[in-house]
Amino acid sequence: MKLMVEIDGQTVELRDAVWVAYRPCGCACSVMDADWGDGEVFATEDQARREWYPLKKDRDRSIKQGYRLELVTFRHYRQHIDILASCDVCKPKVAAA
Ligand SMILES: [Zn+2]
């Protein structure tokens, strides 16, 4: 069975898409396949958020804090998204020497 999704007006197979999680500041921080190839799929934001945050209280908090999830094509992810990037707001704080 092929599951298709539309991303930015483009229809792609779900297995060619990934979920990207963004911090409140807008930096991407995590990525997850939308189709794990074993029958488990995450086609909606709600399904993806449940996988990231199994507990409802954590889901609610993530939404309240402004953590965003976005479904993008794998190609877009490879070309444009760096989950290791961090801005001044979220970069790891190092103790001043
Ligand atoms: Zn940031």
In a domain, 75, yes or no: yes
Rounded to the nearest angstrom, the distance between the alpha carbon of 39 and the centre of ligand 1 is 34
Cα distances (Å, whole numbers) of residue 49 to 44, 66, 68:
9, 13, 9
pLDDT, tens digit, 9 for 90 and up, residues 59-76:
999 999 999 999 999 999
Rounded to the nearest angstrom, the distance between the alpha carbon of 87 and the centre of ligand 1 is 4
In a domain, 42, yes or no: yes
In a domain, 85, yes or no: no
Task: Give the other-Cβ count within 10 Å of 91's Cβ.
Answer: 11
In a domain, 30, yes or no: yes
Residue span of the structural domain in which 53 resides: 4-80
Span 70-87, mean pLDDT? 95
Rounded to the nearest angstrom, the distance between the alpha carbon of 59 and the centre of ligand 1 is 20
Rounded to the nearest angstrom, the distance between the alpha carbon of 92 and the centre of ligand 1 is 10
pLDDT at 94: 74
Burial of 72 from C-beta contacts in 10 A (0-12 / 13-18 / 19+): buried
Whole-angstrom distance, CA of residue 73 vs CA of residue 52: 19
Provide the residue type at 69 as one letter: L
